[in-house]
A and B are shown apart, each in its own frame.
Chain A
Amino acid sequence: MDFPTLLTIFTLACVVGYFVVWGVTPALHTPLMAVTNAISGIVIIAALALTATHGTSETLCNLVPCTAPGKVEGYHTASIWLGSVAVFLCALNIFGGFAITRRMLAMFKPKAK
């Protein structure tokens, strides 16, 4: 996808976010932070997409112009480790974030009639 398209999507999303968030009742501002925090764990899909790929080998550099052929494999292995850490952090955020939001929201009860 080209940059202008992505920028369009970004701008529209900002506008939607603006209107939806103003509709949130102030009483629920803490759960709002907790749930946005949980969904910010969405970067997990980036971490997964990058990490769940097979390693490339130096032979690739016979086909494409490599910048640093000697580093291809080593760098890739390192990237898998770091990517897994990122997945872990995001998972922590997602599961922890949704759980705490759920717990908080469960406490908000109307007056018993």
Chain B
Amino acid sequence: MFQSYLPFLALISALCFILALKGLAHPKTAQRGNTFAMVGMGLAIGTIFLSLGTSVANIIPLAVALVAGAVIGIPVAGRIALTALPQLVALFHSFVGLAATLIAVVTYLQEYPIGGLLPKTATELALGAAIGILTFTGSILAALKLQGTIGGKPLAFKGRHVVNLALGLIIVAASVHFVMTFSALSLTIVIIAAAILGFTLVAAIGGADMPVVVSMLNSYSGWAAAATGFMLEMPLLIITGALIGASGGILSYIMCKAMNRSFISVILGGFGNNESASAATPTNAEGKTPALAAAEDAAFLMQNASRVIIVPGYGMAVAQAQHAVKELYQTLSNQGVEVIFAIHPVAGRMPGHMNVLLAEADIPYDVVEEQDEVNPSFPTTDVTLIVGANDVVNPAAQTQPSSPLYGMPILEAHKSRFVYVIKRSFKPGYAGVENELFTMPNCALILGDAKDVIENLTRALKE
């Protein structure tokens, strides 16, 4: 009797997941959202055991697997340094991908010998296996890149588009063969080719394009779950997979839009290579050199400012300067200066990266503003301090149609009265483009490690 209510319980789980995403609309409701998601997951797992009823088998290995996941997963999530968050997120994506592939293989192993495999199931099986393994290898590589184990530079080899295309064709051909013959060999070929494709796709993308890669893999893990749901006719998997797929897809879209690049061009990779670098230099050919300043100069101006905007970028994450920034924020606030943080959507290595770092340093979220909110404030701001950001504040994006950055939405830091840029060197940003801002009359560079410079600034303010 209660068996007929199981689909309804699955629907409740799905609703919990939707409420979880809804909760993320505001930091106040976010924690409650996460609790909803946990309830939904618990309910889904409970429902599965209910539906198996007394026929449940292999309970010991399954319980061991479940408990092992909890015993390893929870402490890792609790102890990992937050600077390692992007790679941890990428690593977690890889697990789902691999699990989806394993489930496809398990289905094959169980159904094929007893003649239970149908062409329809086989199609979904091949699709799920391919997306899953592609997510797996792609995420592993992305995690390694973010960790810095292998260089973050795009590994763009000549003819990679041909290789990718060939791999894609192999996957399609082997899938068709698999659906017609159910041959284990062709399924293996599908999996191997998709694994290589995941690797080559991510290999060509690097550095500041990482937010797109991470969101894209997020999206793939959802589609892999949805494909599994189609294969096994489990609506809950389809709903959840679609939610995740949509989420990752939208994040990818937001990231691409914030860089003014098409999704295709990011995926095809190879930004910041020689051609764009040489094309961009003419703007600065007149030999203007940026003005240099000391931390004390900036401190003096900030002290007398009524509003200071701080623009954090990936450089802040690298220097782990967020706690020093918090000190600065505190000191300025105590002196009656209004401090706002301005965050560009693609600052950092994953969507929302800067927000998490600032939150970690205990900077309240209501002084952290997004691009559209903060841009009107720059013209009335006395001092803007840029901490390790570059391309996202380059005015060339608005003024130089020849610049590769042209059309990219930027933080209009150059409109404030004074701009100080903390930089380690004169090197251009990820896009390989000279930053016009640095040679503007209202701008000065403070060279040095972000953390040291900010500590000096704070010290000068306190004196």
Binding site for B on A (CB under 8 A): 1, 3, 6, 9-10, 13-14, 16-18, 20-56, 60-61, 64-69, 71-72, 75-76, 78-80, 82-112
Contacts A45-B48, A79-B109; A91 near B21 (Cβ below 8 A): no
A27 adjacent to B355 (CB under 8 Å): yes
A109 adjacent to B22 (CB under 8 Å): no
A6 adjacent to B238 (CB under 8 Å): yes
Which partner residue on chain A sits nearest B14 by CB separation? A13
Chain A residues closer than 8 Å to B114, beta-carbon distance: 56, 60-61, 64, 66-67, 72
A30 adjacent to B222 (CB under 8 Å): no
Q: How far is the CB of B51 from chain A (nearest CB, A)?
A: 8
- Answer yes or no: B45 CB below 8 A from chain A CBs: yes
Task: Give complex CA distance A10, B243 in Å.
Answer: 9
- Answer yes or no: B1 CB below 8 A from chain A CBs: no
A40 adjacent to B62 (CB under 8 Å): no
Q: Which of chain B's residues 35-50 have a Cβ closer than 8 Å to chain A?
A: 37-38, 40-41, 44-45, 47-49
Q: Select which of A39, A44, A66, A96 is within 8 A of B45 by beta carbon.
A: A44
Chain B residues closer than 8 Å to A21, beta-carbon distance: 21, 243, 246-247, 250-251
B100 adjacent to A107 (CB under 8 Å): no
Task: Give complex CA distance A36, B327 in Å.
Answer: 33
19 inter-chain pairs at a CB distance below 8 angstroms, sorted by A residue, are A6-B235, A9-B238, A17-B246, A21-B251, A25-B27, A26-B343, A28-B27, A39-B243, A40-B240, A43-B237, A44-B45, A50-B106, A65-B115, A83-B103, A90-B69, A91-B73, A97-B73, A100-B88, A104-B359
Chain B residues closer than 8 Å to A24, beta-carbon distance: 21, 24-25, 247
Q: B100-138 toward A: CB 8 Å interface, digit per residue (1/0)?
A: 101101110110111111001000000000000000000
Contacts A86-B106, A105-B34; A40 near B24 (Cβ below 8 A): no
A92 adjacent to B73 (CB under 8 Å): yes
Chain B residues closer than 8 Å to A66, beta-carbon distance: 113-115
Task: Give complex CA distance A53, B226 in Å.
Answer: 22
Contacts A64-B114, A68-B113, A98-B38; A47 near B102 (Cβ below 8 A): yes
B22 adjacent to A20 (CB under 8 Å): yes
Question: A-B pairs with the 7 shortest C-beta distances?
Answer: A91-B69, A17-B246, A96-B73, A29-B352, A29-B351, A13-B242, A99-B77
Q: How far is the CB of A7 from chain B (nearest CB, A)?
A: 8
Chain A residues closer than 8 Å to B73, beta-carbon distance: 91-97, 99
A40 adjacent to B102 (CB under 8 Å): no
A35 adjacent to B356 (CB under 8 Å): no
Chain B residues closer than 8 Å to A65, beta-carbon distance: 115
Give the dominant DSSP class at B's interface.
helix
Q: How far is the CB of B146 from chain A (nearest CB, A)?
A: 13
- Answer yes or no: B241 CB below 8 A from chain A CBs: yes
Q: Select which of B27, B72, B248 is within 8 A of A108 by beta carbon.
A: B27
Task: Give complex CA distance A6, B64 in Å.
Answer: 33
Task: Give complex CA distance A32, B251 in Å.
Answer: 10
Chain B residues closer than 8 Å to A50, beta-carbon distance: 103, 106-107, 110, 232
Chain A residues closer than 8 Å to B229, beta-carbon distance: 6, 10, 46
Task: Give complex CA distance A101, B233 in Å.
Answer: 29
B26 adjacent to A25 (CB under 8 Å): yes
A6 adjacent to B99 (CB under 8 Å): no
Which partner residue on chain A sits nearest B46 by CB separation? A45
Task: Give complex CA distance A52, B53 in Å.
Answer: 10
Contacts A28-B355, A52-B62, A82-B105; A39 near B37 (Cβ below 8 A): yes
A67 adjacent to B182 (CB under 8 Å): yes
A36 adjacent to B70 (CB under 8 Å): no
Q: How far is the CB of A87 from chain B (nearest CB, A)?
A: 4
A10 adjacent to B238 (CB under 8 Å): yes
Contacts A28-B355, A84-B62; A45 near B96 (Cβ below 8 A): no
B92 adjacent to A30 (CB under 8 Å): no
Q: How far is the CB of A52 from chain B (nearest CB, A)?
A: 5
Contacts A51-B106, A84-B61; A91 near B246 (Cβ below 8 A): no
Chain A residues closer than 8 Å to B69, beta-carbon distance: 87-96
A37 adjacent to B93 (CB under 8 Å): yes
Q: Select which of B44, B98, B254 is within 8 A of A42 by beta carbon.
A: B44
B250 adjacent to A18 (CB under 8 Å): yes
Chain A residues closer than 8 Å to B24, beta-carbon distance: 24-25, 28, 31-32, 35
Q: Select which of A33, A52, A91 is within 8 A of B215 by beta carbon.
A: A33
Chain B residues closer than 8 Å to A92, beta-carbon distance: 69, 72-73, 92, 95
Q: How far is the CB of B431 from chain A (nearest CB, A)?
A: 22
